Amino acid sequence: MSNHLFKVYICEHHSTYSLNRIKGIIYDIIGFLASIGFRQKSAQKKLLIVRIDEIGDYMLWRNFLNEITAAPRYHGFDIHFAGNKSWKSLFETFDADVVHKSFWIDKIRFKKDLKYRYRFLRMIYRQGYDTVINPTFSRDKRYDDSIVKAASAKHRIGMVANTESVQPYERGYDHGLYTRLFDYLEKPVFEFFRNQLFTAFVTGIESSVEDTRVPQPLLTSFEGLPQKFAVIFPGSRSTSRIWPTNNFIAVAAHLFRTQGFTMVVCGAADDKTYTDAFCSAYQYPVIDLTGKTTLTDMLSVLAQASLLLSVDTGSVHLAAAVGCPVIGIFNGSQYKRFAPYPSSIAPHFYACYPDTIEKELADEHLVRTKYEFVIAEPYANVLPEKVIKTIDTFLGK
């Protein structure tokens, strides 16, 4: 890097750093203003559970919600839930009956719209909660922790946080925010098992939840699907997680030629760039459901599929919850936290890694030090030939 470019990089980095600090101060002021004045008083104690992270996080945790709400220590509580509106439909289908009231946050608006942020935090503050529980390991000052702070509850229960995304100037921000913190020092640990241990910490009772399965009777058959099909999920909200279209095509074509599978392409409307690229170049039978399925529809589609081929997105966790075999493209980030699934939870979950990464994953020291957090290895380094071999081995069984 030339001296001029280095100076430009330093200036831009410093400018971003300063801007984020200013945003943090503004958020702190809004949170302070939202937590002033009148609060509701009620003879019945109130409990708030905060879970506003992403679909995969929710799927790995949702089966523990009932154990928390049914715990004897919260008997008689008015139980409220704050969730991420991106998976509201899943909650309302499977879990709404275990809480008395729910609130839904638009995280993009919560970040950008200061009036919306103030009103949401003000609403939380005015509820007058006795207890708030935040079951999130990767807590975030600007999101879930700001809600916990606004709740101003007497009892505030959470985890000792994963500090990966905490900026240097924010370290220690949560000192005193929680009255009880769960800590688990063993690394790595699959997120489901961390949730299991945290639930026992909260309830005082050993958890009996064994997997992430959703209630099968609540799933309806999705009409119009072929008898033999595989689901392709080529999109991702994170551009760093994209696997090349040609790689998806090579694997899909192999599945059609050897197994006769029709490809059913799925994704949200935001994924159309990637799904359109696949559909326009793929020469064999394909059904495009991009933007045409709700999350509950997706569960039904996956429950009927022979397998899912996807990059590291929430789709792999949806598939695991309905017993759909998963062929996932991963780069080694957060190894053993979110993938691969233990066979006791999802017996047909196959995680494909770049060859160079796979060799290092055999070293437990590197797993604990290098692969605990997100790494920059391109997903494109997972070769389609390796994925095809994984699929052939699975289908051969």
* Gap between the Cα atoms of 254 and 392, Å rounded: 10
Going 346 to 95 to 129 to 167, the CA torsion angle's sign is positive
Is position 9 within any domain?
no
Mark whether 194 and 253 lie in a shared domain: no
Going 35 to 36 to 38 to 41, the CA torsion angle's sign is positive
Is position 222 within any domain?
yes
Is position 88 within any domain?
yes
Mark whether 343 and 391 lie in a shared domain: yes
* Gap between the Cα atoms of 348 and 291, Å rounded: 27
Strand partners, 48: 80, 132
Going 178 to 179 to 185 to 187, the CA torsion angle's sign is negative
End residue of a domain, out of 176, 203, 230: 203
Is position 210 within any domain?
no
> What are the residue ranges in the chain where pLDDT is below 70?
1-17, 397
Is position 52 within any domain?
yes
Mark whether 378 and 237 lie in a shared domain: yes
Mark whether 278 and 133 lie in a shared domain: no
- Report the predicted TM-score, pTM, of the whole model to 2 decimal places: 0.93
Peptide bond just before 340 cis, omega within 30 deg: yes
End residue of a domain, out of 138, 168, 203: 203
Mark whether 247 and 167 lie in a shared domain: no
Mark whether 123 and 262 lie in a shared domain: no
Mark whether 185 and 140 lie in a shared domain: yes
Mark whether 105 and 198 lie in a shared domain: yes
Q: Is 137 exposed, middle or buried (0-12, 13-18, 19+ CB in 10 A)?
A: buried
What's the pLDDT score for residue 9? 40
Tell me if 38 sits within 8 A of 133, measured CB to CB. no
C-alpha triplet 389, 59, 216: angle, nearest 5°: 85
DSSP for 261-314 reads: PEEEE---GGGHHHHHHHHHH--S-EEE-TT---HHHHHHHHHH-S-EEEESSH
Is position 11 within any domain?
no
Q: How many CA atoms lie within 13 A of 52 on its CB side?
A: 25
* Gap between the Cα atoms of 252 and 261, Å rounded: 8
* Gap between the Cα atoms of 193 and 264, Å rounded: 32
Helices then strands, counting H and E runs in the chain, come out as 15, 12
Helix/strand/coil for 367:
helix
Counting every residue written for the chain, the total comes to 397
End residue of a domain, out of 173, 203, 233: 203
Mark whether 63 and 155 lie in a shared domain: yes
Q: Which helix (H) or strand (E) holds 233?
A: strand 229-233
Going 374 to 380 to 383 to 384, the CA torsion angle's sign is positive
CATH label of the domain that carries residue 178: 3.40.50.2000
Number of domains making up the chain: 2
Tell me if 154 sits within 8 A of 66, measured CB to CB. no
Q: What is the β-pairing status of strands 326-329 and 308-311?
A: parallel
Mark whether 84 and 188 lie in a shared domain: yes
What's the pLDDT score for residue 333? 95
Mark whether 173 and 227 lie in a shared domain: no
Query: b/e for 325-357, b at 16 or more Cβ within 10 A?
Result: bbbbbbbbbbbbbbbbbeeebbebbbbbbbeeb
Give the domain range for residue 356. Answer: 216-396
CA nearest to 60, candidates 326, 353, 318: 318
Is position 366 within any domain?
yes
Is position 19 within any domain?
no
Tell me if 1 sits within 8 A of 87, measured CB to CB. no
Mark whether 175 and 267 lie in a shared domain: no
- Letter for the amino acid at 353? Y
